[in-house]
């Protein structure tokens, strides 16, 4: 009988089978059978017994291996195993537990486990152990235990016991405890009063805390899955956010103040800190944003600022802020080289209003005045209230020269004066307010104190000379401005009153033949006599009065051309007329010229328009088109004062010009300045190259004429031949030559 591996019979049972077999074979049978047969049978039994013994040995071997494996598993298990006696002594301990406890096995055996627990936890352990002995179901406890080297670690003990022993599984949970601690701390931080949100690296919100909801109005379900853009207000531009992200990527954190929007739409200011969280591979895994609402603090700061720098009644800047701004304005003026102006504005008879109508009404007026002033200044100007009924306006960037600035300041001051002159409605009471204004101009070198004094003095003068007026600090400037306004008023009527005259200055060719005249306007003033164009053309250009004046000049010149037709001496002359930039840039200028030509019946070929370089630079395409259209009418063009502007030569070639006129400043310097002589020569060469005639103006001496002639100049105009003449004298001149 051969037993298979899985079903090996034990040695004992085999023996019993053999004996049973032998018993069955009765003695009778034995005696009746031959001896050989009996011996053979015994032999067979013997072999069977040997086989049974071998099977037994194999089984014992397997058992031994299995025991070793068990011991390995026990000793080197990932957790510690201990068996305690009922009184808590260590009866058995595996190698893992020995290693965890950091002691030799011999020192641990038969020792109370309690002694390895730290003093604070010993009571708890004893109570747990007693319970585990009775329970017979597993129970677990966490304790701090001390290793052989004195270090403490967190242990988890899973115990199962009975009346005789308690078996314990021991694991080191220090790492888990630390993580739990951190989590607890993080959770506590997350539930703080600061609003918090956690986003993924793409900025999508993953978590928000209750304070976030409280501050923004967005619940967790509102916010999660969205980006912080839901909070965005338009107070910061895209550049701000771009820089924020750059800092975050570079430094891993960003902090700053930011205006955001609550779910309700209300704006609020927050102090925000964003921190990037990195993985162990230094990849950003999250961003944590933490913020506090600083709106109230901001408002409080603003209120403090308002109280310190603004007038509570009118909400205008107060004297202190004005002084700051003025100091700043002077510094800016130093850099820009532009003038500014300070206006002191005082309400005439304010005291009387206060006394008769009461302070409430007085206050109303002050508030209304403040408002009107603000409505009538430019964006960057400052209005302030000095106190009482005194207001101050600060204007910057008024011009390069004192005169220019004074003109502009006078205009802006008049505007304020007029705005305040309209009636005020003070609780149904119509009040006419008169104001005195003192103006001080300032420039780089002025001081704040000095300037206040100037404006104040000017205001005093405005008041003492009757009030309801504007006065400048500088008496010369004041005079000039007054002259100017008188002149302007008179100039308005100059055409209607027929006070303009045309003088004509002859233009001669190389053979001293008069080929044309330049019409130069004069103002025949009833009191001042003949006024030269230099004194009124700039003002006329500034005020737009050049338009009617310029039209009159072209009309008069054309009528003269018409009158000279058939005149033996003058019929071949061209009349050159000066055209101002403002005049030329009128949209209907071409049509105007055409209308005048038609109305007068003048031959267009006798009319020449003098333009200056600077006016042509303004809008080249339009300019060229206009000149072309006028040229098609048959009219010619001359470039006046040539050499003083900045014409580009390539551009010059595109213009339909017939003539270049060398400016008199170069002609004057012939034989005095080599440079200017070179310029004169260059202009002549240029004119010849561009197939234009060249005329020199302001020729006063024979030397100048000879120089010009030697270099090929075509025509001449100047006092050497004749100064500008009234018509009768010109006609006499023509007869003489």
**By the criterion CB under 6 A, which residues form the site for ligand C2E?**
505, 520-521, 532-534, 537, 550, 553, 578, 580, 610, 640-641, 664, 697-700, 718-719, 724
Which residue, 133 or 664, has its beta carbon nearer to ligand C2E?
Answer: 664
C-alpha–C-alpha distance, residues 108 and 92, integer Å: 9
Pick between residue 409 and residue 508 the one whose CB is nearest to ligand C2E: 508
β-strand pairing of 607-612 with 574-578: parallel
Nearer to Mg ion, 157 or 576 (CB): 576
d(CA 554, CA 576): 9
Stretch that binds Mg ion, among 192-200, 265-273, 460-468, 603-611 (CB under 5 A): 603-611
Q: How far apart are CA 391 and CA 226, in angstroms?
A: 52
Q: CA of 546: how far to CAs of 116, 179, 194, 491, 525, in Å? A: 111, 88, 70, 10, 17
Contact 278, 285 (CB under 8 A): yes
Where does this chain touch Mg ion (CB under 5 A) — which range of 391-399, 490-498, 548-556, 575-583?
A: 575-583
Comparison of 216 and 717: residue with beta carbon closer to ligand C2E: 717
Least Cβ distance, residue 722 to ligand C2E (angstroms): 8
Going from the C-alpha of 248 to that of each of 154, 489, 499, the distances in angstroms are 39, 67, 76
Count of CB atoms situated within 10 Å of the CB of 596? 18
* Residue 116 to residue 171: CA distance in whole angstroms: 14
Phi and psi at 321, nearest 5°, equal -65, -40
Min dist CB 322 to Mg ion, Å, is 47
Instruction: Locate 534 and state its tokens.
Output: 């230099």
The answer to whether the Cα torsion of 30, 34, 35, 39 is positive or negative is negative
**Shortest Cβ distance from residue 717 to ligand C2E (Å)?**
6
Q: Taking CB under 5 A as the rule, does residue 456 contact Mg ion?
A: no
Closest CB to ligand C2E among 216 and 507? Answer: 507
d(CA 526, CA 482): 19
Query: Which listed option, Mg ion, ligand C2E, none, makes contact with residue 698 (CB within 5 to 8 Å by class)?
Result: ligand C2E
Contacts of 559 (CB under 8 A, 6+ apart): 600, 602
Q: Which is nearer to ligand C2E, 218 or 642 (CB)?
A: 642
679 binds, among Mg ion, ligand C2E, none (CB under 5 to 8 A by kind): none
Helical H segments across 252-294, by residue range: none
Q: What is the sign, positive or negative, of the torsion defined by CA atoms of 646, 649, 655, 661?
A: positive
- If the CB atoms of residues 490 and 546 are measured against ligand C2E, the closer one turns out to be 546
The residue among 409 and 553 lying less far from ligand C2E, judged by its C-beta, is 553
- To Mg ion, the closest distance from the beta carbon of 516 in angstroms equals 12
Nearer to ligand C2E (CB atom), residue 143 or residue 554: 554
**What's the rounded Cα separation, in Å, for the pair 622 and 354?**
59
270 binds, among Mg ion, ligand C2E, none (CB under 5 to 8 A by kind): none
| Beta strands at 514-525 and 529-531: parallel, antiparallel or unpaired | antiparallel
As measured in angstroms, the least distance from the Cβ of 400 to ligand C2E is: 21
- Cβ of residue 639: shortest distance to Mg ion, in angstroms? 10
Residues that bind Mg ion (rule: CB under 5 A) add up to a total of 5
Q: Which residues are paired to 139 by β-bridges?
A: 159
Residues 6+ apart with CB under 8 A from 139: 128, 131, 132, 158, 159, 160
Structural Rg of the chain based on CA atoms: 56
**CB nearer to Mg ion: pick between 121 and 641:** 641
Report helix angle 319-336 to 295-309, nearest 10. Answer: 90
User: Shortest Cβ distance from residue 694 to ligand C2E (Å)?
Assistant: 15
3-state secondary structure at position 646: coil
Q: Which of 640, 662, 714, 717 binds Mg ion (CB under 5 A)?
A: 640
Count how many residues are written for the chain.
737
Tell me whether residue 381 or residue 697 sits nearer to Mg ion (CB atom).
Answer: 697
Q: How far is the CB of 640 from ligand C2E (least distance, A)?
A: 5
Judged by CB under 5 A, the residue of 199, 578, 583, 600 near Mg ion is: 578
Q: Residue 312 and residue 335: Cα distance in Å, rounded?
A: 34
Least distance to Mg ion from the beta carbon of 698, Å?
A: 7
Supply the minimum distance, in Å, between the C-beta of residue 699 and ligand C2E: 6
Query: Rounded CA gap, 397 and 298, in Å?
Result: 33
Cβ nearer to ligand C2E, comparing 641 with 676: 641
Task: State the nearest-atom distance from the C-beta of 528 to ligand C2E, in Å.
Answer: 15
Nearer to ligand C2E, 158 or 700 (CB): 700
CA 479 from centroid of its chain's CA atoms: 46
The one segment of 12-20, 255-263, 578-586, 703-711 that binds Mg ion by CB under 5 A: 578-586
As measured in angstroms, the least distance from the Cβ of 648 to ligand C2E is 22
> Distance between CA 427 and CA 408 in Å, rounded?
35
CB 699 within 8 A of CB 658: no
- Burial of residue 648 (CB within 10 Å: 0-12, 13-18, 19+) is exposed
Minimum CB–partner distance for residue 539 and ligand C2E (Å): 12
| Residues 676-705: x where in contact with Mg ion by CB under 5 A, - otherwise, as a string | ---------------------x--------
Cβ 315 to Mg ion shortest distance, Å = 55
- 534's contact among Mg ion, ligand C2E, none, with CB below 5 to 8 A by partner kind, is ligand C2E
Token reading at 396: 């910057």
Q: Is 166 helix (H, G, I), strand (E, B) or coil?
A: strand
Contacting Mg ion (CB under 5 A), which of 610, 613, 676, 715? 610
> What's CA 165's distance to the chain center, in Å?
78
Nearer Cβ to ligand C2E (339/716): 716
C-alpha neighbours within 13 Å on the C-beta side of residue 132: 26
Comparing CB distances to ligand C2E, the nearer of 381 and 613 is: 613
DSSP string, 118-132: -HHHHHHHHHHHHHH
As measured in angstroms, the least distance from the Cβ of 445 to ligand C2E is 34
Residues that bind Mg ion (CB under 5 A): 578, 610, 640-641, 697
């Amino acid at each position: 009988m051969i037993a298979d591996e899985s079903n090996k019979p034990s040695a004992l049972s085999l023996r019993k089978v053999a004996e049973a077999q032998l018993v069955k074979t009765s003695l009778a049978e034995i005696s009746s059978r031959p001896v050989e047969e009996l011996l053979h049978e015994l032999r067979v039994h013997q072999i069977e017994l040997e086989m049974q013994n071998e099977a037994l040995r194999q089984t014992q071997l397997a058992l031994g291996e299995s025991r070793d494996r068990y011991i390995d598993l026990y000793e080197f298990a990932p957790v510690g195993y201990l068996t305690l006696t009922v009184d808590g002594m260590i009866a058995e301990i595996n190698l893992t537990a020995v290693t965890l406890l950091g002691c030799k096995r011999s020192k641990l055996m038969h020792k109370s486990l309690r002694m390895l627990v730290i003093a604070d936890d010993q009571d708890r352990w004893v109570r747990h152990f007693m319970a585990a002995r009775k329970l017979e179901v597993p129970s677990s406890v966490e304790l701090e235990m001390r290793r052989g080297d004195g270090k403490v670690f967190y242990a988890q003990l899973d115990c199962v016991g009975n009346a005789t022993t308690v078996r314990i599984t021991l694991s080191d949970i220090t790492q888990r405890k630390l993580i739990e601690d951190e989590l607890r701390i993080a959770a506590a931080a997350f539930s703080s009063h600061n609003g918090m949100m956690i986003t993924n690296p793409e900025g999508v919100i993953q978590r928000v805390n209750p304070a976030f909801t409280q501050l923004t109005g967005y619940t967790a379900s509102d916010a999660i899955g969205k980006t912080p853009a839901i909070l965005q207000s338009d107070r910061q531009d895209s550049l701000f956010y771009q820089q924020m992200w750059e800092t975050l990527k570079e430094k891993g954190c960003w902090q700053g103040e930011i205006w955001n929007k609550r779910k309700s739409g209300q704006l609020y200011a927050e102090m925000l800190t964003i921190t990037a969280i990195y993985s162990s591979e230094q990849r950003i895994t999250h961003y944590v944003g933490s913020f506090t609402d600083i709106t109230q603090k901001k408002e409080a700061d603003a209120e403090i600022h308002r109280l310190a720098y603004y007038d509570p009644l009118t909400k205008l800047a107060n004297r202190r802020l004005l002084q700051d701004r003025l100091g700043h304005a002077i510094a800016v003026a130093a850099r820009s080289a532009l003038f500014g102006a300070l206006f002191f504005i005082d309400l005439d008879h304010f005291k009387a209003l206060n006394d008769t109508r009461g302070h409430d009404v007085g206050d109303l007026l002050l508030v209304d005045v403040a408002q009107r002033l603000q409505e009538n200044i430019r964006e960057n100007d400052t209005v302030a209230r000095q106190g009482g009924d005194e207001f101050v306006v600060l204007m910057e960037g008024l011009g390069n020269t004192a005169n220019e600035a004074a003109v502009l300041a006078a205009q802006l001051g008049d505007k304020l004066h007029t705005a305040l002159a309209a009636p005020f409605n003070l609780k149904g009471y119509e009040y006419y307010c008169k104001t005195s204004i003192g103006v001080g101009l300032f420039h780089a070198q002025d001081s704040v104190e000095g300037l206040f004094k100037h404006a104040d003095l000017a205001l005093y003068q405005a008041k003492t000379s009757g009030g309801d007026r504007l006065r400048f600090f500088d008496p010369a400037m004041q005079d000039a401005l007054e002259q100017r306004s008188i002149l302007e008023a008179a100039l308005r009527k100059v055409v209607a009153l027929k006070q303009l005259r045309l003088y004509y200055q002859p233009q001669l060719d190389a053979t001293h033949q008069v080929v044309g005249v330049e019409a130069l306007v004069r103002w025949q003033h009833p009191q001042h006599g003949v006024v030269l164009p230099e004194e009124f053309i700039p003002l006329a250009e500034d005020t737009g009065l050049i338009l009617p004046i310029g039209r009159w000049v072209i009309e008069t010149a054309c009528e003269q051309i018409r009158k000279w037709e058939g005149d033996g001496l003058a019929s071949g002359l061209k009349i050159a007329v000066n055209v101002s930039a403002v005049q030329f840039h009128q949209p209907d200028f071409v049509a105007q010229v055409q209308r005048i030509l038609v109305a007068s019946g003048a031959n267009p070929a006798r009319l020449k328009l003098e333009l200056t370089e600077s006016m042509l630079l303004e809008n080249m395409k339009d300019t060229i088109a206009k000149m072309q259209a006028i040229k098609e009418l048959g009219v010619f063009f001359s470039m006046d004062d040539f050499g003083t502007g900045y014409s580009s030569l390539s551009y010059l070639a595109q213009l339909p010009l017939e003539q270049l006129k060398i400016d008199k400043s170069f002609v004057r310097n012939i034989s005095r300045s080599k440079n200017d002589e070179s310029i004169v020569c260059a202009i002549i060469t240029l004119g010849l190259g561009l197939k234009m005639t060249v005329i020199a103006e302001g020729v006063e001496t024979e030397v100048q004429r000879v120089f010009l002639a030697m270099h090929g100049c075509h025509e001449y105009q100047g006092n050497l031949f004749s100064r500008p003449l009234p018509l009768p004298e010109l006609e006499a001149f023509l007869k003489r030559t």
